[in-house]
Structure 1
Amino acid sequence: MIIRATILALILNFSAFAHGIFYELVDGAVGVRVTAPNNIPISNANVTIYAPEASLPFVNGKTDVNGNFAFMPDSHGQWRVVINVDSDHGGHIKDFKITIDENRKVDEFEKTPYERYMKMLSVLGLLLGLFGIIVLIKNRKKDTTK
């Protein structure tokens, strides 16, 4: 009797695990966040990811409520990301590349022109501002001598 109860308990215990939901966290995912220029997340943007030297999509989907989309690259190389956001006046498409290293981590990615030239524009603005202040001071000195 005890043997039957033990066997029955083991069988019921194994069948309980057969219908569960399991999860694990996996390192190596690459996340892309899609936002409007004022940093407002864009949900439901179409995202298509192409593996290195592939013409067919590796994965495609939509961004979540916070504008996030993630994928797990299975090889290193240069991955292509295409983001398509529909709007009232047509679609907006961004196409850029992400370089994944041998450890499946992001090595580098193409930044937006704003991010690429931000330092240069900041220095240019600073120089023009200093030049403007110098010209203003020189003109004031000329006006007081008259």
Structure 2
Amino acid sequence: MKTGSIWIAALLVAMMFTTQGWCHGVEGYIDTVRAHCITALYDDGEPMSYAKVEVKAPDAKIVFQTGRTDRNGCFMVRADTPGDWRATVQDGMGHRLALNFSVTPEIDGKPAAPSPLSTANPSMSRPLKGGVALSIIFGLYGLLYGWRSRHLPKR
């Protein structure tokens, strides 16, 4: 019985002087912030899902952020330095999209001026490209046959 009492007393003393363990924990929160959403699409409107993205800060030698687009072709970046930034999206199959965007300095937590949404080169849709190509082909054949008919001997 004395041995059991000693162990219980020792356990109570040890429990009285225990401290919090020095381990690390994690915290998280969801916040609505002012960020830039990069959206990458193919020319037919299909999103570039899970494509590799690299974002470079102005005058930086290393990449600011890398990642992949989501299934909708979107990638978020919160740029922290004013200037002209560059985002490059590659799908691994030869398609590459390079976008530039400007970040303006903030005054009292509010942006000084709105930044342009994108500086991507706007392209024509597929049906419009096909129509332009057919127009050029018919136009060239029309010129060729018109020129040939002028230079044929008259009967």
Q: Give me the TM-score of the superposition, normalised by structure 1.
A: 0.57
For 1:26-45, what per-residue CA distance to the aligned partner results, in whole angstroms no more than 9, with x for missing partners? 41211111111121112111
Does the CA-based 8 Å contact 2:40-2:97 persist in structure 1?
A: no
Q: Gaps spanning 5+ residues in structure 2: where?
A: 1-23, 133-155
**Structure number having the greater helix percentage:** 1
Does the CA-based 8 Å contact 1:50-1:59 persist in structure 2?
A: yes
Per the alignment, residue 107 of structure 1 pairs with 115
Question: How many pairs are equivalent?
Answer: 100
The alignment yields a C-alpha RMSD, in angstroms, of 3.0
Per the alignment, residue 57 of structure 2 pairs with 51
Larger Rg: 2
Q: Which runs of 4+ in 1 moved over 4 A?
A: 18-21
Shift in Å at residue 113 of structure 1? 3.3
- 1:106/1:56 CA distance change after superposition, 3 Å: farther
Once residues 91 and 75 of structure 2 are traced to their aligned partners in structure 1, the CA distance between those partners, rounded to angstroms, is 13
Does the CA-based 8 Å contact 1:98-1:106 persist in structure 2?
A: no
- 1:48/1:111 CA distance change after superposition, 3 Å: same
- 1:36/1:20 CA distance change after superposition, 3 Å: same
Per the alignment, residue 79 of structure 2 pairs with 73
- 1:100/1:47 CA distance change after superposition, 3 Å: same
- Helix, strand or coil: the match of 2:72? coil
Per the alignment, residue 48 of structure 2 pairs with 42
Once residues 102 and 69 of structure 1 are traced to their aligned partners in structure 2, the CA distance between those partners, rounded to angstroms, is 22
Q: Gaps spanning 5+ residues in structure 1: where?
A: 1-17, 126-146
Shift in Å at residue 97 of structure 1? 1.1
Q: Give me the TM-score of the superposition, normalised by structure 2.
A: 0.54
Does the CA-based 8 Å contact 2:100-2:120 persist in structure 1?
A: no
